[in-house]
Amino acid sequence: MIAIGSDHAGFPLKEEIKKFLDEKNIAYTDVGAYSAESCDYAVSAQKACDKVVSGECEKAILVCGTGIGISMAANKVKGIRAAACSDYFGAKYTRLHNDANCLCLGARITGAGEAIELVDVFLSTEFEGGRHQRRIDQIADIENGKKLY
Ligand code: RB5
């Protein structure tokens, strides 16, 4: 199960991504926004990311105007590794190396066709593990207040 969410700026792209998920038979839960009426991205970020942390959802896909504000909010949720991506390489390597569990997209930056390519590679790429696991653990250590140096 994928959690998907947006603010008003991300709403149209979120709807396009949902069509792609439907075509691929990928189950998702949409936490809103449900229209292009102005709303706050942090609310959708927290709703979607809570579902990932609780285990209800495997990953989250979030969309705002730039992908940046919603990624900042998502990364405040303990256990979330959110990546704001606007290119294929980033969307792939944030899975391979960072085990990102949340993809953030900017509807005012990335067109629907490219965004769907990013979603596709993000959802289909496995974490490489190995030396990257140590670095993921260090991110969690920072989250838990541990000094790394
Ligand atoms: C909304 O106008 C816009 O600020 C928001 O979607 C996002 O781009 C913030 O980072």
Q: What is the pLDDT of residues 28-75, one digit of tens each?
A: 999 999 999 999 999 999 999 999 999 999 999 999 999 999 999 999
Tokens in use for 87?
């290119």
- Residue 21 neighbours by CB under 8 Å, 6+ apart: 2, 4, 27, 28, 119
Residues 6+ apart with CB under 8 A from 93: none
Q: Which atom of ligand 1 is nearest to the CA of 72?
A: 10
Confidence (pLDDT) at 140: 98
83 lines ligand 1 (CB under 6 A): no
Q: What angle do CA 130, 135, 92 make, to 5 degrees?
A: 70
CB of 64 closer than 6 A to ligand 1? yes
Q: What's residue 135's pLDDT?
A: 98
* 45 within 8 A of 77, measured Cβ to Cβ: yes
Structure-block tokens of residue 58? 């495997």
Return the bridge partners of 83, or none.
103
Predicted pLDDT of residue 103: 99
The secondary element (H helix, E strand) that includes residue 113 is: helix 112-124
Positions marked catalytic: 64, 97
- Kindly state the helix (H) or strand (E) to which residue 5 belongs, with its residue range: strand 2-6
> Are the CB atoms for 97 and 42 separated by under 8 Å?
no
Q: Is 92 within 8 Å of 125 (Cβ atoms)?
A: yes
**Residue 98: predicted pLDDT:** 98
Distance CA 79, CA 30 (A): 20
Which residue's alpha carbon is nearest to atom 5 within ligand 1? Answer: 65
pLDDT tens digits for 101-133? Answer: 999 999 999 999 999 999 999 999 999 999 999
pTM: 0.98
Report the distance separating Cα 18 and Cα 144, nearest Å.
34
With a 6 Å cutoff on the Cβ, whether 33 touches ligand 1 is no
